[in-house]
């Protein structure tokens, strides 16, 4: 996969792949919240937006370069995850879905309306691309080329996946799964349910924040409508398709759903219809998702 | 060991416990009886911090538990085996047991406790790699109790362990509870099956609509005409 840009350097396809991998990063983060902990979050795009705007604003207003901005982008989005979690997690089930959906929309609308800061609907323009000091070659600007972003996002996905695998096998990960499976039982076993849900939202938010900063650096321009409800739903669909709780699943789900619309371009105006049909077929065949733990033990 | 002083608790805005006081002494099995909806489950949840206590006090080993979150209550040594077992069907037996030891950091002792529990419940040892959802109802109840014991509690709260089990299995479960008590465990036992509960309990309380109606030693309660007509079918 690493040699892909060398053997197959078509920039358009590489861009599609990079976008899919960016989705994979988002799916990995959302998988911590929805897949492992079982908290249905419908406003995940907001964390992506917060990360993107954090880098965009730091870069344009304070001249921060890309790399150090990753830290505040992840931190701010993570803090928002915890912050919104505090009130949101007090409500349950359907209400939680509504509250998170509302959060996603409010963030987008806030970025649209805070014109003085965010440029309103026109967004932020002229955000710096990443620069890297390359031994012997001096400073290398990522610019608008495709391959450097492909490598960058690839590296981010590998790192995030490694982190998620470690997390899911840790004490924390097992507690998350227990909460997903049965909150009351988890509480009876001494798991601090609220704190662990907040932690999941914080970690998931931080990963989306990172992805947002990468996105802003790649595009150079961000507008609020890149972060709409459809994006939240798409990422959720990727997590569900891959199988709730599965790291591999989140990545594969994102690659499939991220590239499917492009593969289906031949169908032209029926593209989204075909997309929906493909989703239905897959979920009929494997309701637990591609890599989910099947539940052949029906609950007693 | 545990004392409730006139506690009021409930869900939402309404209380369904109105001043419940009871006591569990070290080494005892105390039965908490009552009709459906009397507030037995709510009493246990109030003790373990799963519902807020609005009035009165819960005191455990001289310490007031008021407002402590459930995790801290478990940490102090109270294990709550909830109504309906609530094992995690999609996890293995072993994973369920490990969950019970979540707050403990003493790995070698945890492993010893696992071995001890496998001796107490041999089926769980044989099926440790099996998904918990594939266990029979009785085995699932054993697992629920074993999971509660993994926290090394000083006090075990059991909510209707005989619920939905065949008469033969009910007897097995009660024998297990009696044995745990002989080995030193203090138990507060909520039961619909008053007859069997009073056979293994030392003392008992009868709840009616969120209030204490009766309390006595187990043999006396078993002979009490009121109890007999209401809960013992005679
Ligand atoms: N989650 C809840 N929300 C609102 N009310 C509840 C809830 N759980 C129980 N109640 C109400 O509280 C009262 C006491 O219920 P509780 O579950 O404590 O009874 P119980 O004695 O355990 O009954 P059972 O023998 O049926 O288990 C009942 O009137 C019940 O309807
Ligand atoms: Mg009950």
Cα(B10) to centroid(ligand 1), Å: 9
Q: Is residue A285 part of a domain?
A: no
Which of A187, A190, A293 lies closest to B75 in CB terms?
A190
The DSSP secondary structure of A9-23, one letter per residue, reads --HHHHHHHHHHHHH
Q: What pLDDT shows up at residue A7?
A: 61
Look at residues B27, B32, B144 and name the one whose alpha carbon lies nearest to residue B80.
B144
How confident is the model over B140-157, as pLDDT tens digits?
Answer: 999 999 999 999 999 999
Residues in a beta bridge with B215: B205
HEC secondary structure over chain B: CEEEEEEEEEECCEEEEEEEEEEECCCCEEEEEECCCCCHHHHHHHHHCCCCEEEEEEEECCEECCCCCHHHHHHHCEEEECCCCCCCCCCEHHHHHHHHCCCCCCHHHHHHHHHHHHHHCHHHHHCCCCEHHHCCHHHHHHHHHHHHHCCCCCEEEEECCCCCCCHHHHHHHHHHHHHHHHCCCEEEEECCCHHHHHHHCCEEEEEECCEEEEEEEHHHHHHCHHHHHHHCCC
Interface pTM, i.e. ipTM: 0.93
Distance CA A140, CA A41 (A): 39
Q: Is B102 on the interface with A (CB under 8 A)?
A: yes
Q: What pLDDT shows up at residue A178?
A: 96
Q: Is residue A269 part of a domain?
A: no
How confident is the model over B24-62, as pLDDT tens digits?
Answer: 999 999 999 999 999 999 999 999 999 999 999 999 999
Q: Is the CB of B162 under 6 A from ligand 1?
A: no
Alpha helices in A89-228 (DSSP H): 93-113, 115-118, 147-169, 171-181, 183-188, 193-219
Which of B7, B42, B206 is the best mutation target for the ligand 1 pocket, counting ligand atoms within 8 Å of the beta carbon and taking the most?
Answer: B42
Q: Is residue A246 part of a domain?
A: no
Q: Which atom of ligand 1 is nearest to the CA of B190?
A: 22
Distance from CA of A193 to the nearest CA of B (A): 9
Question: Model confidence at B99, in pLDDT bands (50, 70, 90)?
Answer: very high
What mean pLDDT do residues B175-196 have? 95
Q: What pLDDT shows up at residue A5?
A: 62
* Total structural domains within chain B: 1
Q: Is residue A15 part of a domain?
A: no
What pLDDT tens digit does each residue of chain A (300 aa) get? 566 666 666 778 888 899 999 999 999 999 999 999 999 999 999 999 999 999 999 999 999 999 999 999 999 999 999 998 888 777 776 788 889 999 999 999 999 999 999 999 999 999 999 998 878 778 888 888 888 999 999 999 999 999 999 999 999 999 999 999 999 999 999 999 999 999 999 999 999 999 999 999 999 999 999 999 989 999 999 999 898 899 999 999 999 888 887 777 766 677 677 777 777 777 777 778 888 776 543 333
Distance CA B31, CA B158 (A): 10
Look at residues B190, B191, B194, B162 and name the one whose alpha carbon lies nearest to residue B176.
B162
Q: What pLDDT shows up at residue A187?
A: 96
Q: Is residue A112 part of a domain?
A: yes
Q: Is B80 on the interface with A (CB under 8 A)?
A: yes
**Domain range enclosing B197:** 2-231
Distance CA B84, CA B71 (A): 20
**Domain range enclosing A58:** 25-227
| A56, A224 contact by CB (below 8 A) | no
Q: Is residue A222 part of a domain?
A: yes
pTM assigned to the model: 0.91
The total number of residues written for chain B in this structure: 234
Q: What pLDDT shows up at residue A298?
A: 35
Cα(B53) to centroid(ligand 2), Å: 17
Q: Is residue A6 part of a domain?
A: no
Q: What pLDDT shows up at residue B232?
A: 66
Which of B48, B90, B148 lies closest to A297 in CB terms?
B90
Which of B13, B20, B37, B84 is the best mutation target for the ligand 1 pocket, counting ligand atoms within 8 Å of the beta carbon and taking the most?
Answer: B37
Q: What pLDDT shows up at residue A299?
A: 33
> CATH number for the domain including B216?
3.40.50.300
Residue with tokens 């690839």: A154
Query: Number of A:B CB contacts under 8 A?
Result: 79
Mean pLDDT of the residues in chain B: 94
Q: Is residue A236 part of a domain?
A: no
Q: Is the CB of B15 under 6 A from ligand 1?
A: no
Distance from CA of A38 to the nearest CA of B (A): 14
Q: Which is it for strands B53-60 and B2-11: parallel, antiparallel or unpaired?
A: antiparallel
Q: Chain A contacts of B75, Cβ < 8 Å? A: 190
Distance from CA of B119 to the nearest CA of A (A): 22
Cα(B147) to centroid(ligand 1), Å: 24
* Total structural domains within chain A: 1
């Amino acid at each position: 996969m690493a040699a892909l840009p060398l053997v197959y350097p078509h920039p358009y396809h590489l861009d599609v792949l990079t976008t899919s991998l960016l989705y994979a990063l988002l799916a990995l983060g959302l998988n911590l919240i929805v897949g492992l902990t079982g908290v249905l979050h419908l406003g995940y795009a907001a964390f992506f937006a917060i990360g993107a705007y954090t880098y965009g604003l730091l870069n344009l207003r304070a001249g921060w370069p890309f790399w150090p901005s990753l830290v505040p982008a992840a931190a701010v989005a993570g803090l928002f995850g915890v912050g919104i979690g505090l009130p949101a997690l007090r409500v349950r089930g359907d209400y939680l879905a509504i509250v998170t959906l509302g959060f996603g929309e409010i963030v987008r609308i806030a970025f649209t309306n805070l014109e003085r800061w965010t440029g309103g609907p026109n967004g932020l323009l002229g955000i710096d691309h990443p620069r890297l000091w390359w031994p012997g070659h001096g400073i290398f600007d990522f610019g608008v080329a495709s391959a450097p972003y492909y490598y960058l996002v690839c590296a981010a996905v590998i790192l995030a996946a490694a982190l998620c695998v470690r997390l899911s096998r840790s004490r924390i990960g097992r507690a998350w799964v227990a909460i997903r499976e049965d909150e009351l039982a988890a509480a009876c076993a001494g798991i601090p349910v609220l704190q662990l849900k907040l932690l999941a939202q914080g970690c998931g938010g931080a990963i989306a924040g990172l992805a947002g900063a990468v996105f802003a650096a790649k595009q150079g321009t961000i507008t609020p409508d890149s972060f709409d409800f459809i994006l939240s739903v798409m990422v959720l669909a990727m997590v569900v398709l891959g199988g709730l709780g599965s790291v591999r699943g989140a990545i594969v789900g994102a690659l499939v759903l991220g590239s499917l619309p492009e593969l289906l371009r031949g169908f032209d105006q029926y593209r989204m219809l075909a997309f929906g049909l493909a989703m239905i077929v897959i979920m009929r065949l494997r309701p637990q998702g591609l890599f989910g733990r099947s539940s052949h033990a029906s609950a007693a | 060991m545990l004392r409730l002083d006139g506690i009021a608790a409930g869900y939402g805005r309404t209380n369904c416990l109105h001043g419940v006081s009871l006591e569990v002494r070290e080494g005892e099995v105390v039965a908490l009886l009552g009709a459906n909806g009397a507030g037995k489950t709510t009493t246990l949840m109030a003790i373990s911090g799963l519902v807020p206590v609005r009035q009165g006090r819960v005191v455990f080993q001289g310490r007031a538990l008021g407002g402590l979150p459930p995790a801290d209550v478990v940490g102090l040594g109270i294990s709550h085996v909830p109504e309906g077992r609530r094992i995690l069907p999609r996890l293995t037996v072993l994973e369920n047991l490990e969950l019970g030891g979540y707050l403990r950091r003493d790995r070698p002792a945890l492993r010893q406790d696992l071995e001890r529990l496998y001796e107490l419940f041999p089926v769980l040892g044989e099926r440790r790699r099996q998904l918990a959802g594939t266990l029979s109802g009785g085995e699932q109840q054993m697992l629920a109790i074993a999971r509660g014991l993994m926290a090394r509690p000083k006090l075990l709260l059991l909510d209707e362990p005989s619920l939905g089990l065949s008469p033969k299995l009910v007897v097995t479960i009660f024998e297990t509870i009696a044995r745990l008590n002989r080995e030193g465990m203090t138990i507060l036992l909520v039961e619909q099956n008053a007859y069997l509960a009073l056979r293994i309990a030392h003392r008992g309380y009868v709840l009616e609509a969120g209030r204490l109606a009766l309390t006595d030693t187990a043999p006396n309660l078993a002979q009490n005409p009121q109890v007999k007509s209401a809960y013992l079918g005679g």
